[in-house]
Amino acid sequence: MTRRQRLFAAVRGEAVDRVPFALWQHSTVHERTAERFTRFTLDYQRRFEPDLVKVMYDQQYDMPVSRHFIGDLRDWRLLEEYEPHTGGFGRQLESLARIREEAGPEVPVVQTIYSPFHLAHKVAGRRILEDWRRDPAAVRQGLDTIAANLRGFAGCCLREGGVDGFFFAPIGCEASYMDETQYLEMVRPSDLAVLGALREAPLLILHIHGERQVMFGLLSRYPCDVISWEDRVAGPPLAEARRLTPRCLMGGIDHLAALSSAAEQVVRQGREAVAQAGERGFILAPGCTFPADTPEANLRALRQAVEPA
């Protein structure tokens, strides 16, 4: 099977010649230009040959020219809707078109989209919670603006970048950050506003970010094809998740333990994950991005884990 055939068969729960696998790492500051980011992404793909190219948006969200971050409650109302070919989104679109062309038609390309709350957190930190308590309408306006910009960006990813799908990554969906009632009120509306646009793609992967007490039940009901989460760290385990949702599952590797584990341990963990989840409807992957200093042998272990023993 080609990578495209294998990945989409897994998403549909059909038989595959082997379980597909994915892995990714954030680029560094040196890859922020379109050319350098393109080379980083393609070189990573060619070195490890995963079954999809996950393109990561690793730039700061574009703020108004007078602001670098949210430093005042009033700043939420200063966020602007902008044309997606400018700034960081524009550089990402330029890279994406090159990645799509060079990856070839048989390699699925998936664009990472951080949720509006995720991007808001990047520019405001946890003060967003205090701002919400003081003036929820102001924060809501900011989240709505970010959501509008993400919808415009996603449309360009589909029309111009030729992506096969999106990897949607919300944060805040764990008990240490907020409870489900607050998530439903504060975060979920902007999540769904963006997911409506992402659902236009053939493939939508939802990543439930968090290391403990994540809102798996709540977010697993979001519109998506695949659910990714930190199963080894936060739970639920793969076998339990298989009972909770009919969707394709993605995970199985403890990305934090891979920093210090032997490669043989990562291979063993990957094979255990396949045994738990089954060979249909499963993509072997890290629970979240591998840290930059993860040994290369441990990254290569994912492919070894899905190859015939």
Residues 83-133 have pLDDT tens digits of 999 989 999 999 999 999 999 999 999 999 999 999 999 999 999 999 999
CA angle 219, 167, 85 (to 5 degrees): 125
Q: Pick left, alpha or beta for residue 33 (phi over 0 → left; psi -120 to 50 → alpha; otherwise beta).
A: beta
Which phi and psi (to 5°) does residue 251 adopt?
Answer: 155, -150
Residue at 96: amino acid letter: L
Q: What pairs with residue 250 in β-bridges?
A: 228, 283
**Number of domains within the chain:** 1
Closest CA to 164 of 206, 114, 191, 198: 198
d(CA 28, CA 267): 27
d(CA 112, CA 119): 12
Banded pLDDT at 153 (limits 50, 70, 90): very high
d(CA 204, CA 224): 5
Q: Is the pLDDT of residue 30 over 90?
A: no
User: H or E stretch including 102?
Assistant: helix 87-103
Q: What is the pTM of this model?
A: 0.96
What is the pLDDT at residue 262?
Answer: 96
What is the pLDDT at residue 308?
Answer: 85
**Percentage with pLDDT > 70 across the chain:** 99
Start-to-end Cα distance in the chain = 19
164: tokens are 């096969």
CATH of the domain at 166: 3.20.20.210
The set of residues, in sequence order, having a beta carbon less than 8 Å from that of 287 and lying 6+ positions away, is 228, 229, 230, 231, 232, 233, 234, 251, 253, 254, 255
d(CA 210, CA 234): 7
Residues 31-52 have pLDDT tens digits of 678 888 899 999 999 999 999 9
| Residue 167 near residue 228 (C-beta atoms within 8 A) | yes
SS3 199: coil
Q: Is the pLDDT of residue 29 over 70?
A: no
Residue at 127: amino acid letter: R
Return the sign of the alpha-carbon dihedral for residues 165, 121, 245, 182.
negative
Q: Which domain holds residue 240?
A: 3-306
105 burial via Cβ count (<10 Å: 0-12, 13-18, 19+):
exposed
